[in-house]
Amino acid sequence: MGLKAGDLKDTLDHTFEVDSFASKMGEDKDIVTMSFSLKEKAAAEDLMSFLERGYGFILDADATSGEQRDGTYKVFVELARDKEVHNNIMELIDGVKSLAEMDDFKFRYYKNWRSNDVTQETLEELIPNDPDNYGIKVEEARMSNYKEFFNKSFLDEVNLKETKLSISKKYSDPLFFEFIDFGDVVKIKDNIDGKFDIMESYPEILFLTKYIGDYNISKYGDNLVFENESKGLVLKRI
């Protein structure tokens, strides 16, 4: 039996993600990926089937076989990155909103923790519909994350080029880092390699705290973990 209005109420997360996961069907610049989070495995499988059967523009839909680290089950959807993709996303979301009886759907673009209202305007502003613009939008999203992460710091500039991050402030030499990881701080610390040694790392942590500001900083091996509320940024000095 197919899904009907209200069947996903209270099991579908209010925020979905766009371009946060790699495509299985082709290169990321050519494919838009969407991911939905649900509390129940059966609901995730039902949503996957609904999307596959209901929308001809969907290239692929898949559901995770097991529970994820955050306790949810994911449904992944892939669409062609073309001039119709914003209209296609709006059509798809209208259907999903009905299943969940949800009016306040939001989305995050490319691992940015800032949630956005689902409107034609915001989709067109944030989601590239041209493979040539994909890299630019991804870079903008990454920089937005880092600048927001350092919003309470003493820094004057934060710059990112590929995986190299530089920070600077007046009257001090800039510091350079290699990007390692970014996301929920609990997950970051669960996955990080290396041993935390407060005695060995204390001088560097003290220096960085004076340079950057009031951030919780720890070091595991060569990896530095910077915390801002629930988010963690892992960097390596270069």
User: Taken in order 124, 130, 136, 137, is the CA torsion positive or negative?
Assistant: positive
Q: Look at residue 38 in the predicted model and tell me its pLDDT.
A: 96
Q: Look at residue 204 in the predicted model and tell me its pLDDT.
A: 96
Structure tokens of 177? 């880092």
Q: Look at residue 113 in the predicted model and tell me its pLDDT.
A: 64
Positions of the chain with pLDDT lower than 70, given as ranges: 1, 113, 162
Q: How far apart are the first and last CA of the chain?
A: 57
* Rg of the chain, C-alpha, whole Å: 20
Structure tokens of 140? 């903008």
What are the structural domains, with CATH classification, of the chain? 15-132 (3.30.70), 150-237 (no CATH)
CA 183 from chain centre, in angstroms, equals: 8
CA distance 3 to 7: 6
Q: Look at residue 196 in the predicted model and tell me its pLDDT.
A: 85
Distance (Å) of CA 223 to CA 43, 89, 157, 202: 39, 39, 22, 14
